[in-house]
Structure 1
Amino acid sequence: MAAIISIENVEREFGSGEKRVRVLKGIDLSIKQHTLVALKGRSGSGKTTLLNLIGALDQPSKGCIFFEETDIGQFSEKERTEFRRKRLGLIFQSFGLVPFMTVEENVEFGLRVAGTPREEWQTRIKDALELVGLTKRAKHLPFELSGGEQQRCAIARTIASSPSVILADEPTAELDSKMAFHIIKQFKYLVDTKKTTIIMTTHDQDILDMMEHVFELEDGRIAHEKTEAFS
């Protein structure tokens, strides 16, 4: 299976001079299409920084990141924005919900931004909310939801537009173990049926044990890789 993302000798530094901090120290990584991938590591290991680079939210200090053989590090700001809008789905730890929109309106907003045809909105919203178990909360505003429900709304908003690649930073952090397991099962369903590629970060060992591919970051480098079938 072809690689959708190839990372070659990527470094990321912040600051300069004596205050310079090297967060990533030469990352080489290939992520195949239609796979479910986890990045693990302690806080400060560089996993979120790497996720941001893959999502063109930041640019490497050195090295290249190829998305389908195109070096996204060479994109202009306008090209990076368009790339994220058309090709990626992003799930942040902060959720990023619009506070005055209901759950279904937040999902609809994501479809509008992605350029999804209006005639598909109703079906996509319904399917996404069912997938994350929020159908009965569709008319609620974010402040009326628990942290876990807000997280599930953010996931629904992302998956509704069927992006080629989903990048998720700790997408199960606010969920109980039963719902976290359910969400990972649904991620696997998207990989198998929608041909999505999903890259996520997590600290949860139970979740990591479920994953097909795990890359462990330690001190800014890939320290370990696990590849095995999902069960």
Structure 2
Amino acid sequence: MEALLKLQQVERSFGKGDREIKVLKGITADFPQHQVVALRGRSGSGKTTLLNLIGGLDQPSKGEIHFQGHLISSYSEKQRTEMRRSKMGIIFQSYGLVPMMTVEENVEFGLRIAGIDRMEWKKRVAEAIELVGLTKRKKHRPFELSGGEQQRVAVARAMALKPPLILADEPTAELDTRMAFHIIHAFQELLTHTDTTVIMTTHDPGILEIVDHVYTLEDGQFAEE
């Protein structure tokens, strides 16, 4: 079975000459469908940089990234934007919610810009909000929600797309242990109905125990498990 995502000798450096800093030093890995994959490593180990490269928010200094059989590391900015909009759900630490929209409207907005059929919106929005446990808060706006609740809205927005790939940067960082596990189980529930793969960064040892695969970043490379 063809891997959903392939990384081949991916490097990312910042700066030049004497001031060059190599953050990633030749990352090679295959990510199959239907998995929740965790990236772990100390702060500054390159986890977020790697997510940004996979999501086309940045481009590698060297190496290749293939997504669904396409060499996305050579895509134009327009192609990368379209790929993110229609084929990826991205959960940032900053949440990226629209302040004057309700929980429902924020989730629906993600479907709207992805070009999902309008007939699907209501059902998908309700399902995603229920999966993250926010049905009773669906009419609230971001400023009426806690940080953890806003994080769950961002998760719901990504899940409603049912995309081939969800990229999540510390999606449980603001959540208590019970809700963190709830979100991971929600990801796993999504995987049973779709071809989605989730790649997330986390420091949570409990979560590392229940995901399908863990990659550890050390000194810019994947450490041997």
**Shorter-chain TM-score: which interval?**
over 0.9
Find the counterpart in structure 2 of residue 147 from structure 1: 147
Identity, % of aligned positions: 63
Asked whether the equivalents of residues 217 and 224 of structure 1 are also in contact (C-alpha less than 8 Å), the reply is: no
Find the counterpart in structure 1 of residue 19 from structure 2: 19
Find the counterpart in structure 2 of residue 210 from structure 1: 210
Q: Is it true that 1:138 corresponds to 2:138 in the alignment?
A: yes
The alpha-carbon deviation at position 210 of structure 1 amounts to 1.0
Find the counterpart in structure 2 of residue 156 from structure 1: 156
Deviation track 1:109-157 (CA, whole Å, cap 9, x = no partner) reads 1110111111111111111111101011111110110011000000011
**Structure 2 residue matching 1:182: 3-state secondary structure:** helix
Stretches of structure 2 lacking an aligned partner (at least 5 in a row): none
4+ residue stretches of structure 1 with deviation over 4 A? none
The alpha-carbon deviation at position 161 of structure 1 amounts to 1.3
Instruction: Give matches, 1:1-231, under 5 Å.
Output: 1-225=1-225
The alpha-carbon deviation at position 70 of structure 1 amounts to 1.2
Asked whether the equivalents of residues 142 and 150 of structure 1 are also in contact (C-alpha less than 8 Å), the reply is: yes
Output the CA distance in 1 between the equivalents of 2:46 and 2:127.
Answer: 34
Deviation track 1:65-117 (CA, whole Å, cap 9, x = no partner) reads 01122110110111111111111110001000011111111011111011111
The alpha-carbon deviation at position 51 of structure 1 amounts to 0.7
Amino acid at match of 1:208: L
Output the CA distance in 2 between the equivalents of 1:4 and 1:23.
Answer: 24
Output the CA distance in 2 between the equivalents of 1:208 and 1:134.
Answer: 25
Amino acid at match of 1:185: H
Output the CA distance in 2 between the equivalents of 1:44 and 1:137.
Answer: 35
Kindly report the root-mean-square deviation, in angstroms, between the aligned alpha carbons of the 2 structures: 0.9
Amino acid at match of 2:138: A
| Comparing 13-22 and 148-157, the one that deviates more | 13-22
Amino acid at match of 2:24: L
Output the CA distance in 1 between the equivalents of 2:224 and 2:197.
Answer: 21
Output the CA distance in 2 between the equivalents of 1:123 and 1:212.
Answer: 28
The alpha-carbon deviation at position 192 of structure 1 amounts to 2.0
Find the counterpart in structure 2 of residue 228 from structure 1: none
Amino acid at match of 2:46: G
